[in-house]
Amino acid sequence: MFRDTVRKLVSANQKRAIKTRLNKIKKFYVNTFKSFTAKDLKSKLRELGISRTDTLMVHANFNPDSGFKGAPIDVVNTFVDYLGDKGNFLMVSIPFRGPSYDYLKKNKPFKVNKTLSLMGLITEMFRRKKGTLRSLHPTHPVLAYGKDAEWLVADHEKCLYQCGAGSPFEKFREMKGKILFYDVSFGAITFYHYVEDIIKDKLPFEVYDKELFKVKAFDKNNNECVIETYVYNPRIKRNAFKLEAEMIKRDLVKKSKIGNASLILVNAEDVVTVQTDMAAAGNPPYDL
């Protein structure tokens, strides 16, 4: 009741002035005590155990209050500089929000060179970077930069199951990849879909919808083609945080901070092991 009274007494202009002042104080605090550079981020990657020869899939969010001294493209360049010569840097560039079923029902063509990534500004900056390759798939295209980039993204358009056999996600596992969550929660994990494809016959429900979609697409040379794909069952509620909790219980998750940014690191093979074990035990990471 006291707060309601205060709100009534403070004018709209006063509220804006207070908010502006608080934002300035917050910005000063972050710049003074929580700022970090690209060099600092590279040092943190080494500290976490990420080698320059690793194949790293990154899920990232650009928060202006993270403390990073630079723009989203500078985050991209940091990872490319760290991994681009001897390793591989990957991101997922999904072009929609919500269920893939709903997206494909809109019958939009997929243009590998032009269709935007809606997985955050960092992914879109990476997509636009010269030298970045993108796999040709309308729902889960993967961005890659590094020594094995061409192989990693090749033939994704031939996969009926977007994260399954033959996809960049399977190749990523073969490379003994690592997954880093940069200022984003574990819930962003796309590799989860690769594992559920492996264990789909052991689950008490259908992982995929029965409808086969045929999607018009344009490759890097602007050649038109049709890609056939199934999509995930939109009626199933996936719960990656349940998977994360089990991985933490087994001490398979590394967590750290740099500035105001959170970092979470897991090995792809550990994700496969734990998610498979959970399904075998009748406790898969879904809301059943």
Share of the chain above pLDDT 90, in %: 87
How crowded is residue 205: how many other Cβ atoms within 10 Å of its Cβ? 11
Phi and psi torsions of 182, nearest 5°: -100, 100
**Distances in whole angstroms, Cα of residue 125 to Cα of each of 14, 68, 113, 234, 279:** 38, 16, 13, 29, 37
Contact of 149 with 126, CB cutoff 8 Å: no
Q: Do residues 265 and 179 make contact, with C-beta atoms less than 8 angstroms apart?
A: yes
Spatial CA neighbour of 142 closest among 105, 175, 101: 175
Please report the pLDDT score of residue 84 as a whole number. 87
Cβ count within 10 A of residue 25: 10
Chain-wide mean pLDDT for the chain? 93
pLDDT tens digits for range 136-184: 999 999 999 999 999 999 999 999 999 999 999 999 999 999 999 999 9
Q: What is the pTM for the complete model shown?
A: 0.90
How distant is the alpha carbon of residue 158 from its chain centre?
A: 22
In tens, the pLDDT along 33-74 reads 679 999 999 999 999 999 999 999 999 999 989 999 999 999
pLDDT at 8 over 90: no
34 contacts: CB under 8 Å, gap ≥ 6 = 67, 259, 260
User: Taking the mean position of all CA atoms in its chain, how far away is CA 172?
Assistant: 14
